[in-house]
Amino acid sequence: MPLLTRAALVFETVVSAGSIRKASERINLAPSAIDRQILNLEAEMGTPLLTRHARGMTPTEAGKLVVDRIRAWQGEDQALRGEIEMLKGRKGLVRIGIMECFTRTVLPAVFRRLEAMHGATTLDVFTGGTARIAQRMLAGELDLAVAFNMPGDLGLRVLFETALDIGIVLRPTPDLVRKGALARSDLQGRHVVLSDRSLTVEPIVRAMMERMGLNSQAIARSNSIEAIKSLVMAGAGVGFLTWADVCEEVRRGDLLFLPMAAGRATEVLSLTGRPPAQTSQSASALSAILIDTLAGIAAEAKALPGAARG
């Protein structure tokens, strides 16, 4: 039972983004539909809520009051959901958006720690790419988000952030294990398995390959990190991912992760959350566990031979 109408959520996104165009990109809604929602809300309030100017939009005094109340209601909505879950015998509800690569390893371990330390908690888990997770955070549908390359202009609270090297992911062979790092010549002409443009790593890897002058052939593309890893394990080609994407497979010996000897590039892994007033005790507890877990992954990555320090 949402406390907020779609028009209210759209209005809050426009204010946070600063323009209808940016809001459209964040919530995947046509600018004309956004404009209609704003006009309907202004008609309902009986006063202009936004001042339109060349570089975007700013809220009027009435608009500031409305957006402040919307954000307060988002917190009340979360509190209400938590209270209802408590009535149902659960300690609380936490809504989390998380990248696919963390769902098989990090998520179960984090949930077990949460239950052991804080009692029964309900997790509402959404898995998707950064853009979809960001949309849901802005719409007030998530409490926490674990994602790569989260845009920094969304007004979200950054709870943890680290830069991770993008490395070469391969099927292990004795000669590669001995190398310790790969040079441009080792990659020239190889088949590669790449992400498609729906993943934020795609433009970073594309730019890195262009800087290195690689003429490697893309044998496959996917919007799924799991699919990329499966294809690499099957011998289709090499991939470009971070330690966080592949650490479990490397530990099992199914994949090899090697740093680049040149042309280094990074992705930023972050945990973001809502303002403190909109954060439940269960969400705060989960965020503390996630920070500890992600910091451990980052420390592992920095300790790898050939990894960038600092």
Provide DSSP, 194-250. EE-TTSTHHHHHHHHHHHHT---EEEEEES-HHHHHHHHHTTS-EEEEEHHHHHHHH
Identify the CATH number of the domain defined by range 163-267: 3.40.190.10
Question: What CA–CA distance (Å, rounded) separates 106 from 98?
Answer: 10
Higher pLDDT: 160 or 279? It is 160
Specify the DSSP class assigned to residue 303: H
Residue ranges covered by each domain of the chain: 1-77, 163-267
| Residues 6+ away with beta carbon under 8 Å from 230 | none
pLDDT band (50, 70, 90) for residue 158: very high
- Which residue type does 58 have? T
Q: Give the global pTM.
A: 0.69
Instruction: Tell me what pLDDT residue 310 has.
Output: 46
Percent of the chain scored above 70 by pLDDT? 87
pLDDT band (50, 70, 90) for residue 229: very high
Q: What is the mean pLDDT of residues 150-155?
A: 81
Instruction: Tell me what pLDDT residue 254 has.
Output: 92
pLDDT band (50, 70, 90) for residue 172: confident
pLDDT tops 90 at residue 181: no
Instruction: Tell me what pLDDT residue 173 has.
Output: 75
pLDDT tops 90 at residue 161: yes
Instruction: Tell me what pLDDT residue 1 has.
Output: 43
Q: Is residue 30 helix, strand or coil?
A: coil
- Counting every residue written for the chain, the total comes to 310
Instruction: Tell me what pLDDT residue 3 has.
Output: 62
pLDDT tops 60 at residue 248: yes
Instruction: Tell me what pLDDT residue 90 has.
Output: 47
Instruction: Tell me what pLDDT residue 178 has.
Output: 60
Burial 287-299 (b: 16+ CB within 10 A, else e): bebbeebbeebbe
158 touches 210 (CB < 8 A): no
Domains 1-77 and 163-267 share a fold: no
Instruction: Say which range, 83-97, 118-132, 141-155, 209-223, has the weakest mean pLDDT.
Output: 83-97
Identify the CATH number of the domain defined by range 1-77: 1.10.10.10
Residue 147: beta bridge partners? 270
Instruction: Tell me what pLDDT residue 271 has.
Output: 96
Tell me the range of 124-133, 182-191, 301-310 where mean pLDDT is highest.
124-133
245 touches 195 (CB < 8 A): no
Diameter of the chain by CA atoms?
72
265 touches 166 (CB < 8 A): yes
Burial 107-135 (b: 16+ CB within 10 A, else e): beebbebbeeebeebbbeeeebbbbebbb
Average pLDDT, the chain: 84
pLDDT in tens, 14-68: 888 888 888 888 787 888 999 999 998 999 899 999 998 877 889 999 999 998 8
Question: What CA–CA distance (Å, rounded) separates 242 from 167?
Answer: 6
Higher pLDDT: 96 or 280? It is 96
Closest CA to 161 of 259, 298, 307, 289: 298
Instruction: Tell me what pLDDT residue 91 has.
Output: 55
Instruction: Say which range, 89-98, 192-201, 246-255, has the weakest mean pLDDT.
Output: 89-98
pLDDT band (50, 70, 90) for residue 89: very low
Q: What is the mean pLDDT of residues 113-120?
A: 80
Question: What CA–CA distance (Å, rounded) separates 253 from 303?
Answer: 18
